[in-house]
Chain A
Amino acid sequence: MRKLQVAGLILFLIGGLLSGCSWQQASATKGDENNIKLWVPFSGPDGPKFEEIVRAYNQSQEKYKVDLQIIPSSEYYKMVNLTLSSKNNLPDLMIMHADRIVDYATKDQLLQTEVLTKSKKINAADYHPKALQASKVNGSTYGIPLDIHPLMFYWNKDLFKKAGLDPNSPPQNEKEFKEYAKKLTAPEKNQYGFAVPTVGTQPFLFQTILAQKGGKLYNDGHFNYTSKEALSTLKFVRDLIYKDKVSPSGLAIDGDLKLFLQGKNAMHFNGPWMLAQFEGSGLNFGVAPVPQIGEKVQKVWANSHNFVVPKKKEGEKLPAIADFLNYVGDHGMAWAESGQAPASKAVYTSKPFKELNQQPKVAESFDFAEYPPQVENWGQVSDFLFQEVNLVLLGKKNPKKALEDAQKKAEQYLD
Chain B
Amino acid sequence: MLKRKLNSIWTKKGVQVVQETKLSKFTSSLFVLPYFIVFVLFLLIPLIYGTYISFHDWDLLGSTHRFVGFSNYAKLFDPSTYFYSVFMNGLWNTAKFVVFSVPILIIGGLLLALLLQHLPDKVKGIFRTIFFISYCISVSVIAVLWLWLLDTNSGLFNHLLSKIGAAPIQWLTEMPYAWISIVAATVWWTVGFNMIIYINALNEVPNELYEAGSVDGATPWQKFWNITLPSIRPVMVFTIVTSTIASFNIYGQPYLMTRGGPGTSTKVLLMEIVDQAFVQRQLGIASAMAILMALIMIVISIIQFRLTRNSEGSVA
Contact = CB atoms under 8 A, between A and B. Distances in A.
B251 A2 contact: yes
A264 B249 contact: no
B151 A252 contact: yes
A1 interface: yes
A78 B278 contact: yes
Nearest 8 CB-CB pairings of A with B: A250-B170, A107-B61, A252-B172, A7-B46, A391-B263, A412-B82, A2-B249, A250-B173
A199 B259 contact: yes
Contact of B60 (A85, A249, A250): A85
B280 A258 contact: no
A120 interface: no
Interface string B219-260: 000000000000000000000000000100111100001111
A252 B82 contact: no
Interface in B19-65: 41-43, 45-47, 49-50, 59-63
Given A252-B173, A377-B279, A412-B81, A390 B263 contact: yes
Given A4-B42, A394-B174, A81 B264 contact: no
A300 B290 CA distance: 40
Contacts of B174: 250, 394
Contacts of A380: 275, 279-280
B19 to A, nearest CB: 40
Contacts of B61: 81, 84-85, 103-104, 107, 109
Contacts of A8: 42, 46
Interface in B126-160: 147, 150-155
A383 to B, nearest CB: 9
A394 to B, nearest CB: 5
Interface in B77-128: 80-82, 85
B279 to A, nearest CB: 5
Given A251-B173, A253-B172, A377-B280, A3 B249 contact: yes
B152 A250 contact: yes
A77 B280 CA distance: 11
A239 to B, nearest CB: 18
A249 B153 CA distance: 9
B83 to A, nearest CB: 9
The number of chain B residues touching the other chain, given as a range, is: 35 or more
B261 A199 contact: yes
Given A412-B80, A412-B82, 12 more contacts: A3-B294, A7-B43, A11-B46, A250-B170, A252-B170, A377-B279, A380-B275, A394-B262, A396-B263, A412-B81, A412-B85, A413-B82
Interface of A: 1-4, 6-11, 14, 77-78, 81-82, 84-85, 103-104, 107-109, 190, 195, 198-199, 248-255, 258-259, 262, 264, 377, 379-380, 387-388, 390-391, 394, 396-397, 409, 412-413, 415
A259 B122 CA distance: 44
A377 B61 CA distance: 13
A315 to B, nearest CB: 18
Contact of B153 (A85, A190, A253, A409): A190
Contacts of A397: 263
A11 B45 contact: yes
A379 B153 contact: no
A301 B290 CA distance: 36
B153 A258 contact: yes
A107 B154 CA distance: 45
7 contacts: A4-B42, A104-B61, A107-B62, A248-B152, A253-B147, A264-B153, A388-B263
Contacts of A251: 152-153, 173
Contacts of A104: 61
Contacts of B50: 7, 10
Contact of B49 (A10, A252, A394): A10
B49 A14 contact: yes
Contacts of A413: 82
Nearest to A7: B46
Nearest to B174: A250
Contacts of B171: 252
Contacts of B258: 252-253
B154 A255 contact: yes
B205 interface: no
B269 to A, nearest CB: 11
Nearest to A74: B140
Contacts of B260: 387
A81 B281 contact: yes
A255 B153 contact: yes
A255 B60 contact: no
Nearest to B171: A252
A258 B275 contact: no
B91 to A, nearest CB: 15
Contact of A6 (B252, B275, B290): B290
B195 to A, nearest CB: 19
B274 A264 contact: no
Contacts of B263: 387-388, 390-391, 396-397
Contacts of A84: 60-61
A255 B45 contact: no
Given A1-B249, A85-B60, A107-B59, A6 B262 contact: no
A259 B252 contact: no
A396 B262 contact: yes
A151 B263 CA distance: 24
A6 B277 CA distance: 10
A387 B152 contact: no
A381 B270 CA distance: 19
Nearest to A259: B153
Contacts of B259: 199, 253
Contact of A253 (B41, B59, B257): B257
B187 interface: no
B288 interface: no
